Amino acid sequence: MNKCLKIMLSGDYKSTFLSDVIQKYAKKTGVEGTARLSADGIHILVCGSKDHVDNFVDALTKEVMEENLSLEPFAKDRDFRGVFRIIG
């Protein structure tokens, strides 16, 4: 069964955090989706098997303070084509 989450990392992050941390964990855990940097933090859409998504979230919690992390389930409304992309 697949699981999809909207993840918001609030705070001030550098764009290198997207490629060095988020992209690395996405590849390592085998999830698909997108991540983009905005003025209020990082917005992530992630989908995959429940175990893969849970492993991705667990990895993120090791990198950010838990109070800066919010999770919300969402219904997948687009095809990520099996990859994880950083949106500029």
Is 21 inside a domain boundary? yes
What pTM did the predictor assign?
0.92
> Which CATH number do you get for residue 34?
3.30.70.100
Does 77 score more than 90 pLDDT?
no
The overall average pLDDT reported for the chain is 93
- Residue 17 CA to residue 73 CA, distance in Å, equals 23
Task: Annotate 51-79 with DSSP letters as a single string.
Answer: HHHHHHHHHHHTTS-GGGEEEEE----S-
Give the N- to C-terminal CA distance of the chain in Å, as an integer: 30
Q: How many domains does the chain have?
A: 1
Task: For residue 66, give its domain range.
Answer: 2-75
Average pLDDT, stretch 20-46?
96
Decide if pLDDT at 88 tops 90: no
- Within-domain flag for 69: yes
CA distance 31 to 23: 10
| Average pLDDT of span 52-63 | 95
- Quote the pLDDT of residue 26: 97
